[in-house]
Amino acid sequence: MISVIVPIYNVKQYLEQCIESICCQTYKDLEIILVDDGSCDGSAELCDVYQKRDDRIVVIHKTNRGLVSARKAGLQASRGSYIAYVDGDDWIEADMFEKLYQKMQESSADIVTCGHFIDTGSLSKEACHDMPEGYYPKAQLMETVYPEMIAGESFFDWKIYPALWDKLFRRESISACQMEVDDRLKMGEDAAATYPALLNASGVYILRECLYHYRQTTASMVKNIQDSVREREQFQVLYQSVDRIFERDKHIYDLRAQWLKYVIFLMTPRSDGLYKGYGELNFLFPFSGVPRGSDIILYGAGTYGQRLYRYLKKTEFCRVVLWVDREYAQLQKMGLDVEAPAELETSECSVVVIANTYDRSRRALYEQLIRRFPTKEIHMIDEQLLFSRETRMAFGLDDGKCG
């Protein structure tokens, strides 16, 4: 039996689609555990309705303590030999578990992972792991996967996505890893369980087919920092707690340097609240070549671009004279003031800032822009600055010691 754990907190408008997509799976031997983490929007009542409709559904109502706590509660209540996760605002393809289970049986893998769709409004993009499809026994994991599993040489690429929800686990491969995750975590909590589980797996099967739908909204992409001190502490807990696990398991493969890069990757889009002294810098971090007070064109309206745009509009640290993105039509429907990249042609502003944290797409865009607009200054993230001791100290991360 596969136990499917669904943590739920105030997602009523999406929950029916989520639960229906699980109940209608072609693989029927499921235990569906809906963990209501103190919802107050009607999600709890909807869970109870579905429990009456399908005897495979188990509902847990608990006081709100966060996603990690909800997942642990679901895991402790589960009875299946295999564990899967689906977030309450997402949904899955009808044959997802059938395909993952089939690959697990064929290969005897401890973990099977698939690709996913990133769904933003009516826009759906495929996202696959950066590895050829197939089974990777331990020796091959050591040779070809672990060296860049969490982070490669550049900022930022990974071999395997950190999500829990695009994977099927043998119970024994995830249980201890999930229970070790600190309940306080609000960011990086998937990676804190996923990467230790992958490190300890005897074999992994990578399926490139996209079977999971990860929903993004403007609210989920850009979350306000309510308390900068508290959030910095959470990232410090994330870094330290998992670093200790990787220290313990370094005899398998030492992932500590990659883990530091990953935490910096998570913190960078939230630099305005997490980097001590951010507002006093004389340049726009992490773009060392963009002086404070510059007029800029901001290219990119993903998670990072949206957050940076909001900060700059609020503070006028730099003046955004134009904000562009290739997906401008869909983003405009979501209420964002984004224009088409073609507007670069007529803009007199000469400074373009690429707000993209993913290496390949960032570099590809940079090459396009310097060819098309040779007179403009095109700025990318300064990777040397990001990984400097100065940045680690400003983020509260310094050679594995936080302060």
Q: Work out the average pLDDT over 7-12.
A: 97
Residue 145, domain CATH: 3.90.550.10
- pLDDT tens digits for 163-176? 999 999 999 999 99
Q: What is the C-alpha to C-alpha distance for residues 83 and 213, in angstroms, rounded to an integer?
A: 18
Q: Work out the average pLDDT over 384-395.
A: 94
pLDDT band at 227 (very low <50, low <70, confident <90, very high): confident
Residue 154: per-residue pLDDT: 82
Q: What is the DSSP string of 206-251?
A: EEEEEEEEEEE-HHHHS---S-HHHHHHHHHHHHHHHHHHHHHTTT
Statement to judge: residues 260 and 362 lie in one domain: no
Please give the tally of structural domains in the chain. Answer: 3
* In contact, 264 and 191? CB cutoff 8 Å: no
Percentage with pLDDT > 90 across the chain: 90
Tell me if the pTM is above 0.85.
Answer: yes
Statement to judge: residues 353 and 268 lie in one domain: no
Q: What is the C-alpha to C-alpha distance for residues 250 and 237, in angstroms, rounded to an integer?
A: 19
What is the Cα Rg of the chain in Å?
A: 22
- pLDDT tens digits for 76-91? 999 999 999 999 999 9
- pLDDT tens digits for 231-278? 999 999 999 999 999 999 999 999 999 999 999 999 999 999 999 999
Statement to judge: residues 264 and 389 lie in one domain: yes
- pLDDT tens digits for 53-106? 999 999 999 999 999 999 999 999 999 999 999 999 999 999 999 999 999 999
- pLDDT tens digits for 315-325? 999 999 999 99
- pLDDT tens digits for 155-202? 888 899 999 999 999 999 999 999 999 999 999 999 999 999 999 999
Statement to judge: residues 107 and 179 lie in one domain: yes
Q: Tokens 């026994």 appear where?
A: 137
Residue 336: per-residue pLDDT: 92
Statement to judge: residues 98 and 208 lie in one domain: yes
In 79-216, where does DSSP find H-type helix? 96-107, 138-140, 171-179, 189-200
pLDDT band at 153 (very low <50, low <70, confident <90, very high): confident
Statement to judge: residues 67 and 177 lie in one domain: yes
Q: What is the C-alpha to C-alpha distance for residues 10 and 89, in angstroms, rounded to an integer?
A: 9
Statement to judge: residues 196 and 241 lie in one domain: no
Residue 120: per-residue pLDDT: 86
Question: Which domain covers residue 355, as residue numbers?
Answer: 287-381
Candidates 127, 26, 37; CA nearest to 87 is 37
Task: Extract the runs of DSSP E, i.e. beta strands, from 241-303.
Answer: 283-284, 287-291, 295-299
Q: How far is CA 354 from the centre of its chain?
A: 20
- Asked whether the predicted pLDDT for residue 223 surpasses 70, the reply is no
* In contact, 167 and 138? CB cutoff 8 Å: no
- Asked whether the predicted pLDDT for residue 400 surpasses 60, the reply is no
- Asked whether the predicted pLDDT for residue 222 surpasses 80, the reply is no
Statement to judge: residues 125 and 202 lie in one domain: yes
b/e map of 334-357 (b: 16 or more CB within 10 Å)? Answer: bebebbebeebeebebebbbbbbb
Statement to judge: residues 197 and 255 lie in one domain: no
Statement to judge: residues 293 and 351 lie in one domain: yes
Task: Give the number of other Cβ atoms within 10 Å of residue 289's Cβ.
Answer: 14
Q: Work out the average pLDDT over 7-30.
A: 98
Statement to judge: residues 199 and 299 lie in one domain: no
- pLDDT tens digits for 331-386? 998 899 999 999 999 999 999 999 999 999 999 999 999 999 999 999 999 999 99
Secondary structure element (H or E) that encloses residue 272, with its range: helix 271-274
Statement to judge: residues 261 and 291 lie in one domain: no
Greatest mean pLDDT among 93-107, 119-133, 206-220 lies in 93-107
- pLDDT tens digits for 129-150? 999 999 999 999 999 999 999 9
Edge-to-edge strands of the sheet including 319-324?
A: 319-324, 295-299, 351-354, 377-379
Residue 334, domain CATH: 3.40.50.720
Q: What is the C-alpha to C-alpha distance for residues 250 and 364, in angstroms, rounded to an integer?
A: 35
Cis peptide before 156 (omega within 30 of 0): yes
The dihedral sign for the CA sequence 264, 267, 271, 275:
negative
- Asked whether the predicted pLDDT for residue 402 surpasses 50, the reply is no
